[in-house]
């Protein structure tokens, strides 16, 4: 059967688009991550996506939400490439114009991104140029075949089709290699140029040494959850890092990383959790943080009396609104430079981030920190506040059942998990099996009110299906509410319930 030259044109369009994107991504290794056409478009799409869709993406794909976004963009690129090939064959120009607009457009979007520089438009222009060259060459051959009315003689067209297919493979595999290995390696691990933590003691192990499957008292950094809007991890070095303190202050100033390191350092054990962490969910971690107290930084700026919030901004365009009183009430909000005795990893905000005990990450934990603006809640709104989330975000009391899982052998068993009510502390955890009475669990090591608490309860599991429910009481004596509320707008409530099949 004859292979229509239309399909050959489509394949060449697809190849042109993919090879073009590949060229743009390779260029961005040299011109900086914020100039990457895919990241720029991805970031732009994240910014304009309605909050409800974003919620759906996060709850469906979890931390793979960005991988999902890149797949969506790749499919869109493929579809538009195909279209460009078909249009180019028909008109001789429309496909090239389409690819040119897409490439240059992605470059322009890149220059509008928060961390852009003057070279940001370059990767998009390279992408456009390469795509147009490939398209013109391929479609030129297709048109020549059409004109020679050779299309039915099948063989030369099939060869041209296969060549286009090879172009698609080169573009696709090249992109997979560049995005999977080469660009992440270019981001790499930050250099270890920080002073050793002051008190280098680490947290002792907890109940996890005795209870299989229980969340460890201290989260290993490689297991610490990651949530942010950054499509590619911002790459900041200590040499060019600066923190600007401005807004309603009598003494605005800027400090360098060396100046930050010269300030008194503190170490605190703090649990960080995400407002989008569903009941029983994984977006919570606990470790020892090292940094400089925000209060010291703010006082030096001499805030005016009308200041209500500190709007912190990160290199990815994120911002958070932390109430000023929270930062000054002695709870040790800090500009953190280390987690668990090591410099922050790039994904967790290297070289410096904010950390505010007692508040969800979106209101107090800005990564890749660049600026603190002292202002009022009327004057400026934070990234997520503009998208329907609460202006202030105190962490709600929560309990998670880690063990048992959904299946269990009958007999002696242990129910165990973690509970947190950061900054208020946990005073009690209770467990109920089916409609039985609430039984008090044994609490693990007390690390501090800003830290989660492990807990366990021995259980003689009898055959059948059981429902295990857990609830915590915070340090103020307030029992966790059983009212079920979704994560939007200011964090979920309700009890974690685990259904267990006992055999």
Ligand X SMILES: Nc1nc2c(c(=O)[nH]1)N[C@H]1C(S)=C(S)[C@@H](COP(=O)(O)O)O[C@H]1N2
* HEC-encoded secondary structure of 7-51: HHHHHHHHHHHHHHHHHHHHHHHHHCHHHCHHHHHHHHHHHHCCH
**Length reported for the chain:** 503
How many chain residues touch ligand X (CB under 6 A)? 19
Which residues inside 335-374 make contact with Mo ion, applying CB under 5 A? 361-362
Q: From the CB of 71, what's the least distance to Mo ion, in Å?
A: 23
The Cα angle at residue 444 between residues 442 and 445, in degrees rounded to 5: 145
Which residues inside 134-193 make contact with ligand X, applying CB under 6 A? none
Sorted by sequence, the CB contacts under 8 Å of residue 76 that are 6+ apart come out as none
Binder among 21, 69, 274, 419 for Mo ion (CB under 5 A): 274
Residue 224 or 456 with smaller CB distance to ligand X? 224
How many chain residues touch Mo ion (CB under 5 A)? 4
* Residue 228 found at the interface with ligand X (CB under 6 A): yes
Which residues inside 174-213 make contact with Mo ion, applying CB under 5 A? none
* Residue 225 found at the interface with ligand X (CB under 6 A): yes
Q: From the CB of 178, what's the least distance to ligand X, in Å?
A: 24
Span near ligand X by CB under 6 A; candidates 48-56, 220-228, 450-458, 473-481: 220-228
Residue 214 or 227 with smaller CB distance to Mo ion? 227
* Residue 227 found at the interface with ligand X (CB under 6 A): yes
Q: From the CB of 317, what's the least distance to ligand X, in Å?
A: 8
Which residues inside 343-402 make contact with ligand X, applying CB under 6 A? 348, 361-362, 365-368
| Residue 406: CA count within 13 A, CB half-sphere | 0
Residue 29 interface partner, choices Mo ion, ligand X, none, CB cut-off 5-8 Å depending on type: none
The Cα angle at residue 187 between residues 181 and 192, in degrees rounded to 5: 125
Omega before residue 404 within 30° of 0, cis = yes
Which residues inside 273-292 make contact with ligand X, applying CB under 6 A? 274
Taking the CA atoms of the chain, what radius of gyration do you get in angstroms? 27
Residue 280 or 361 with smaller CB distance to ligand X? 361
Residue, CB closest to Mo ion: 274
Q: From the CB of 443, what's the least distance to ligand X, in Å?
A: 25
Q: Of 56, 132, 87, 420, give the one whose Cα is nearest residue 272.
A: 420
* Residue 226 found at the interface with ligand X (CB under 6 A): yes
Handedness of CA 178, 344, 227, 119 (dihedral sign): negative
Contact between 36 and 182 (Cβ < 8 Å)? no
Q: From the CB of 271, what's the least distance to ligand X, in Å?
A: 11
Q: From the CB of 283, what's the least distance to Mo ion, in Å?
A: 7
Contact between 16 and 135 (Cβ < 8 Å)? yes
Handedness of CA 65, 69, 70, 71 (dihedral sign): positive
Residue 268 or 348 with smaller CB distance to ligand X? 348
* HEC-encoded secondary structure of 342-408: EECCHHHCCCCEEECCCECHHHHCCCCEEEEEEECCCCCCCCCHHHCCCCCCECCCEEEEEECCCEE
Span near ligand X by CB under 6 A; candidates 137-145, 175-183, 218-226, 406-414: 218-226
Q: Which residues in this chain contact ligand X in the complex, by CB under 6 A?
A: 224-230, 272, 274, 314, 316, 318, 348, 361-362, 365-368
Q: Which residues in this chain contact Mo ion in the complex, by CB under 5 A?
A: 227, 274, 361-362
């Amino acid at each position: 059967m004859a292979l229509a030259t239309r399909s050959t044109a489509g394949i060449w369009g697809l190849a042109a688009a993919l090879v073009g994107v590949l060229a743009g991504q390779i260029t961005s290794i040299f011109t900086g991550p914020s100039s990457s056409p895919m990241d720029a478009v991805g970031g732009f799409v994240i910014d304009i996506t309605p909050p409800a869709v974003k919620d759906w993406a996060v709850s469906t794909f979890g931390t793979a939400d960005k991988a999902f976004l890149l797949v969506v963009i790749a499919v869109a690129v493929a579809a538009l490439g195909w279209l460009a090939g078909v249009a180019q064959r028909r008109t001789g120009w429309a496909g090239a114009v389409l690819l040119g607009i897409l490439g240059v457009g992605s470059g322009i979007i890149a220059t509008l991104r928060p961390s852009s520089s003057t070279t940001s438009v370059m990767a998009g222009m390279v992408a456009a140029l390469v795509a147009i060259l490939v398209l013109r060459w391929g479609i030129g051959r297709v048109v020549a075949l059409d004109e020679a009315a050779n299309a039915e003689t099948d063989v030369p067209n099939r060869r041209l089709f296969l060549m286009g297919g090879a172009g698609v493979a080169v573009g696709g595999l090249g992109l997979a290699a560049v995005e999977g290995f080469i660009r992440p390696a270019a981001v790499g691990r930050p250099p270890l140029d920080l002073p050793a933590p002051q008190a280098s003691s680490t947290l002792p192990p907890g109940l996890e040494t005795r209870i299989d499957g229980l969340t460890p008292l201290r989260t290993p950094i490689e297991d610490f959850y990651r949530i942010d809007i950054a499509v590619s991890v911002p790459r900041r070095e200590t040499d060019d890092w600066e923190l600007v303190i401005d807004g309603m202050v009598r003494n605005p100033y800027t400090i360098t990383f060396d100046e930050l390191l010269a300030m008194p350092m503190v170490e605190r054990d703090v649990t960080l959790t995400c407002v989008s962490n569903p009941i029983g969910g994984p977006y919570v971690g606990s470790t020892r943080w090292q940094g400089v107290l925000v209060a010291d930084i703010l006082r030096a700026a001499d805030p005016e009396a009308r200041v209500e919030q500190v709007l912190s901004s990160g290199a990815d365009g994120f911002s958070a609104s932390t109430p000023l009183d929270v930062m000054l009430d002695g709870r040790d909000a800090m500009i953190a430079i280390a987690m668990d005795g090591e410099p922050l990893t790039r994904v967790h905000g290297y070289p410096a981030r904010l950390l505010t005990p007692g508040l969800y990450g979106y209101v107090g934990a800005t990564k890749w920190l660049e600026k603190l603006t002292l202002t009022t809640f009327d004057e400026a709104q934070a990234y997520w506040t503009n998208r329907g989330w609460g202006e202030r975000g105190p962490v709600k009391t929560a309990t998670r059942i880690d063990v048992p899982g959904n299946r269990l052998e009958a007999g002696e068993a242990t129910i165990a998990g973690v509970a947190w009510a950061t900054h208020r502390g946990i005073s009690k955890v209770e467990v109920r099996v089916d409609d039985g009475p609430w039984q008090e669990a044994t609490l693990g090591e007390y690390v501090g009110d800003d830290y989660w608490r492990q807990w366990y309860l021995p259980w003689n599991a009898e055959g059948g299906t059981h429902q295990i429910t857990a609830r915590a009481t915070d340090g103020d004596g307030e029992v966790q509410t059983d009212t079920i509320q979704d994560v939007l707008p200011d964090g979920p409530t309700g009890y974690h319930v685990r259904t267990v099949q006992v055999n």
